[in-house]
Structure 1
Amino acid sequence: MTLPSAISARHLSLPLLKIAFATSTILASANIAHAQNSAPSQLSVVKPVTECSGLAAATPATVEGAGVTAQSKALTTAKGTFCHVTGIIAPSIGFEIDLPQDRWTQRFVESGCGGLCGMINASIGNASRCAPALNGEFVVAASDLGHKGKMGSPDEGAFAADPQKRIDFAYRANHLTAQYAQALIHTYYGQTPRYSYFSGCSDGGREALMEAQRYPQDFNGISAGAPAMLFQVQNSFYHAWGPTVNRRADGTAILLAGKLPVLHAAVIDHCDMLDGTRDGLLTDPRACHVRPEWVRCPTGAADTTRCLTPEEWSVVARLYEGPTDTAGHHFLPGGVQPGSEMGWDAFVPAEPNGRMMGVSMIRSMTPVVLQNPVPADSDAARYPFTTEQFSRVTALHPLNDATSTDLRAFAGNGGKLIMWHGWSDTSIAPMISVAYYKGVRNQMGAGPTDAFLRLFMLPGTEHCGGGDGFSQIDTLQALMTWVEAGKAP
């Protein structure tokens, strides 16, 4: 299969993660606790040494050989006055960089974006208690990953027809935005930042890991939430699986949303106390082995509203298992987890002919996932779960996936990485993060890994927050405390 001409071998350099599909117990769940006796450094405020109006003009108009067109102006918000810089890094990477005028405490953070991006969101996520972020003390940057688009639109993935836009989306845009932000900071304040951070969730989590793997010197600390690191398989086999197993031959849905509370209540009733605490949350869903007799309708039952029929149970069992071929070979290290049932709305509609979001996700993602996309009207319910299709999907693995387990350069540069994932995430399979963490420990060793990497699996938390678990997640302050004070979370 021929690669687009602009994607050369140097763009396809990340090794394939050899994921062990066994669900052995390898990780204890934990909360992200703030250090009691340590805190981020108390850094002095640095004021600008030049005027905002001329900042873009005074900063070099290229970054790593790419031309930059930028404009700067003062912008006053509730958090203070900023020098607001917007522009384009050639050929089409849109960016926004906001530099505090009166409160800069020598820190820089770049924010990732979700879905297929296509828009700029220069806000700091997962920093709900982080005072420097709340007070407007960071330089904040973000990009659109090299294209314009609307999340969820039918043509969201159309940018992938341009090979350069593929590369910019995969990894180039965030790196060049970071480099240009550093140049602006040096011009505006007369110094580089003391500490640089990256924070993102979902595709932003993939972007975060891509930075650690490809550009280990860009950031001192990285927060990667629910990372779509296994981008190729996640956005094909995984999203197609739910609509496929939950459809009859006539296209109607088998399992409907009205049955999910029945299933969820049974799971919690039988497994809540496995961790010794009755709180409605499963600390480690892998310990919960859901059995059909918990929810099975009695033979010949006239009323099946409070139980599951054999046909409905067959859907549930396959959702927990995750995508397989007809021989039972697994294409991912796991499916949705017990305890996540109330978040199955992407593939369990309210009505038999109701819309399944997984179908539209496959249609929008296909142009990005495949080198030679199938027609836009491809149906997720007819998705081929075969090794041949797996080979097609993984052809662009080295470009889009962020699964290299060799993080020695990042660790050697003093970098710290916090990964987190909700156990009730139904958009990105939680076991992907567990498998990646295990892969890093296997390659680098337990001690060296613990010195720079933590993975937190959050009970009851859905995709990037929400759910029955803890949705106010502040990884940034914990990351700053680790980077700046040496106190691991």
Structure 2
Amino acid sequence: METFVRSLNVNRCLLPAAVGVASAFLFMPVQAHASNCETLTGVSLPGNTTITSAQTLSGNLTINAVGATANSTGMPPFCRIVGVTRPGPNSSVNWEVWMPASGWNGRYVQIGGGAIDGSVNVSTLAARVQLGYAAAADDGGSTGKFADFVNNSDRQLDFAYRAYPATHDNAIPLIRTFYGAGPQKSYFTGCSEGGREALLMAQRYPTYFDGIQAGSPAKYPSHMWIGNNIWLDRLFSNPANALSVQQINLIQNASTAACASPATGVVADPRQCKWDVSSLLCTAGNTPETGTCLSAAQVATMKQVLGRNGGAHNPRTGKMIFPGVNPFSGLTGLFPGSNATDSHIQYIGSLFYNNLNWPWQDYNFASDQAKLDALPMAKAIETINPDLSAFAAHGGKLLMWAGWEDPQIFVWDTVNFYDYMVRHNANPVDGALIDLNYDNPEYPYGKTTPSEFINPALKQRFAAASHAAYGRAVDATSKFAKLYMASGVNHCGGGPGAQDFIAQGMNGSLTQALINWVEKGEAPEAIPVSKRQNDTATGAVKFSSLMCPYPKSLNYSGSGDPLSSSSYTCQ
């Protein structure tokens, strides 16, 4: 792989020795040091970079950027830098850096992308600048068109991992020149593809950011799109298994009714839900065609699909390819599965096989997965390394989060990966104890010996010790990385759960918890969240709740207002 410029991570040397001094400095407004924004066109930048525009803007603006347009009102004066970096001869990584002309809070935030990128998120840049951040975003080196990846290794590698450090390496010297000092603290935030990029930075560039927020990360595309697209399509292509929209809604409504709080309509934690899809089996006098019950074949199919132990498996080895989905919300549109023009099938074809018309219908789940995993791009784009020791040694803090009802990147994948990290952080003795009672599916996260092959008597004898060992490993991991679970939330938002922590951006409670952890040393525990009208940042509050750090679970205390977070605990 190519060598990349990493020498400009200069913002670390400016930290005051005392945390209290650092925190005080961060909230003192900083004025621009350069005579004006336009002089930044002459800054020497790394990585075959060209600045195409540098201008001071303010007021009510319509901003046109690569792949995006945003209307922003009341913008304070800020410096907008537009540039392009070419890590390879066929590369074109478009990025922008926005810096408030005054009132900078001393922080830098880099914004992750989504889907296959292809646009610069200028609306989020505007929101961050209004909050006093110096901010950057890029297009991932992508045009947003799958066809442009085909036989273009530069675009593939840029999207996989080269674009994001390149943006950082250009943003930092621009910030230093404009303000006369680099950022006191640097953050990366993203969800979905942006969550993959967030994990990428923690794993491959561990000294670049002090705090990283990774939501529902699309960390394992070679398994993810096979498991929740092609496998589902294969399963539901059998007419006996296929579900109608009415039946999908039936599954969602029945499971939610069985497990949700009557007050909020939200399932607090699927691990506490004992609902069984068998309860929807048609009885005498009813048929699946009514949409009010499921046939025996449909019930059997859904048992394969649902839950942590469901999902796609290798039929030869039994090894999990990708876990199952939770039944409560967001399933409409997921089934019956994929089709020939599905974007996720094109993702695999363009990035891994250089063929948009690859014969996905013939995919052999017993033999083809290992071949796909071995492809160079599959390796380049995955972010499943559980070893964050370099990031932790740097002092970095990682907050992952996921919605318990994510129907796109099935939430058990995120949970399983965090458990993989926990297991990695166990000492050898605790690791062996964890493995004795480790029920997390292997796919490849986790242990090498499936727990079903361990003598049940041995498991029972050491169950308490195994649980204690797991707890110690969680404690070790939680010193630098935590996973927060959002009850009733779908993929990066949506669903019946409380989610104002998303709508409020950098002012949201999750991001504020990350900032407090990085800048004040305050490790987060339960994080307050609210369900607001229309899921906006300012809508009327319908109820408040908590986001719990995994593996803790949200629990009603048994008394008090069920619409108030004060009546809940994380246990």
Match of residue 416, structure 1, among 388, 397, 418: 397
Residue number in structure 2 paired with 1:389 = 369
Residue number in structure 2 paired with 1:469 = 497
Residue 284 (str. 1) matches residue 289 (str. 2) = no
Residue pairs, 1:226-241, within 5 angstroms:
226-241=216-231
Match of residue 133, structure 2, among 133, 138, 146: 138
AA matched with 2:85: I
**Residue 161 of structure 1: SS of its match in structure 2?**
coil
**Residue 400 of structure 2: SS of its match in structure 1?**
strand
Residue number in structure 1 paired with 2:518 = 483
Match of residue 265, structure 1, among 253, 268, 293: 253
AA matched with 1:68: T
Max Rg structure: 2
**Residue 346 of structure 1: SS of its match in structure 2?**
coil
Return the alpha-carbon distance in structure 2 between the equivalents of residues 192 and 416 of structure 1.
20
Return the alpha-carbon distance in structure 1 between the equivalents of residues 292 and 317 of structure 2.
31
| 1:406-425 residue CA offsets vs partner (Å, 9 max, x unmatched) | 10111111101000011111
Match of residue 76, structure 2, among 48, 73, 80: 80
Structure of higher RCO (CA pairs closer than 8 Å, 6+ residues apart): 1
Residue number in structure 1 paired with 2:16 = none
| 1:61-80 residue CA offsets vs partner (Å, 9 max, x unmatched) | x31x4333332011214231
Residue number in structure 2 paired with 1:71 = 53
AA matched with 2:93: I
Residue number in structure 2 paired with 1:256 = 244
Return the alpha-carbon distance in structure 2 between the equivalents of residues 79 and 54 of structure 1.
18
Q: 1:363 to 1:158 in 2, by over 3 A?
A: farther
Asked if structure 2 preserves the Cα contact closer than 8 Å seen for 1:111 and 1:123, the reply is: no
Residue pairs, 1:157-236, within 5 angstroms:
158-236=148-226
Residue 337 (str. 1) matches residue 326 (str. 2) = yes
Asked if structure 1 preserves the Cα contact closer than 8 Å seen for 2:203 and 2:391, the reply is: yes
Asked if structure 2 preserves the Cα contact closer than 8 Å seen for 1:52 and 1:72, the reply is: no
AA matched with 1:425: D
| 1:200-250 residue CA offsets vs partner (Å, 9 max, x unmatched) | 00010000000001111111100000001112211233322222222226x
| 1:338-358 residue CA offsets vs partner (Å, 9 max, x unmatched) | 323x43313248xxxxxx579
Match of residue 281, structure 2, among 296, 299, 310: 296
Q: 1:160 to 1:418 in 2, by over 3 A?
A: farther
Residue number in structure 2 paired with 1:15 = none
Deviation at 1:328, TM superposition (A): 6.9
Return the alpha-carbon distance in structure 2 between the equivalents of residues 165 and 293 of structure 1.
47
Residue range with higher mean Cα deviation, 412-421 or 424-433: 424-433
Residue number in structure 2 paired with 1:376 = 357
Asked if structure 1 preserves the Cα contact closer than 8 Å seen for 2:190 and 2:214, the reply is: yes
Residue number in structure 2 paired with 1:456 = 484
| 1:10-44 residue CA offsets vs partner (Å, 9 max, x unmatched) | 89xxxxxxxxxxxxxxxxxxxxxxxxxxx975521
| 1:252-305 residue CA offsets vs partner (Å, 9 max, x unmatched) | 9810211122212221233336xxx76432232134344243111113525733
Return the alpha-carbon distance in structure 2 between the equivalents of residues 75 and 118 of structure 1.
24
Residue range with higher mean Cα deviation, 458-467 or 70-79: 70-79
Return the alpha-carbon distance in structure 2 between the equivalents of residues 375 and 147 of structure 1.
16
Deviation at 1:383, TM superposition (A): 3.7
Deviation at 1:186, TM superposition (A): 0.5
Residue number in structure 2 paired with 1:432 = 413
Residue 398 (str. 1) matches residue 386 (str. 2) = no
Residue 318 (str. 1) matches residue 311 (str. 2) = no
Return the alpha-carbon distance in structure 2 between the equivalents of residues 157 and 322 of structure 1.
29
Q: 1:235 to 1:461 in 2, by over 3 A?
A: same
| 1:132-169 residue CA offsets vs partner (Å, 9 max, x unmatched) | 948330011001111212xxxxx425324211222211
Asked if structure 2 preserves the Cα contact closer than 8 Å seen for 1:55 and 1:187, the reply is: no
Return the alpha-carbon distance in structure 2 between the equivalents of residues 487 and 160 of structure 1.
46
Deviation at 1:479, TM superposition (A): 1.0
Return the alpha-carbon distance in structure 1 between the equivalents of residues 332 and 367 of structure 2.
26
Q: 1:187 to 1:160 in 2, by over 3 A?
A: farther
AA matched with 2:273: C
Residue range with higher mean Cα deviation, 65-74 or 190-199: 65-74
Return the alpha-carbon distance in structure 1 between the equivalents of residues 23 and 292 of structure 2.
52
Asked if structure 2 preserves the Cα contact closer than 8 Å seen for 1:243 and 1:359, the reply is: no
Asked if structure 2 preserves the Cα contact closer than 8 Å seen for 1:232 and 1:394, the reply is: no
Residue range with higher mean Cα deviation, 160-169 or 85-94: 160-169
Q: 1:300 to 1:387 in 2, by over 3 A?
A: farther
Q: 1:331 to 1:369 in 2, by over 3 A?
A: farther
Aligned length: 429
Asked if structure 2 preserves the Cα contact closer than 8 Å seen for 1:253 and 1:348, the reply is: no
Return the alpha-carbon distance in structure 2 between the equivalents of residues 158 and 238 of structure 1.
24
| 1:401-456 residue CA offsets vs partner (Å, 9 max, x unmatched) | 11111101111111010000111111102112112211222222433311111101
Asked if structure 2 preserves the Cα contact closer than 8 Å seen for 1:221 and 1:415, the reply is: yes
Alpha-carbon RMSD across the aligned residues, in angstroms, is 2.8
Q: 1:314 to 1:134 in 2, by over 3 A?
A: farther
Residue number in structure 1 paired with 2:294 = 308
Asked if structure 1 preserves the Cα contact closer than 8 Å seen for 2:222 and 2:348, the reply is: no
Residue range with higher mean Cα deviation, 315-324 or 206-215: 315-324
Please, which runs of 5 or more residues in structure 2 have no aligned partner?
A: 5-21, 60-73, 427-472, 502-507, 525-571
Return the alpha-carbon distance in structure 1 between the equivalents of residues 151 and 336 of structure 2.
32
Return the alpha-carbon distance in structure 1 between the equivalents of residues 302 and 57 of structure 2.
52
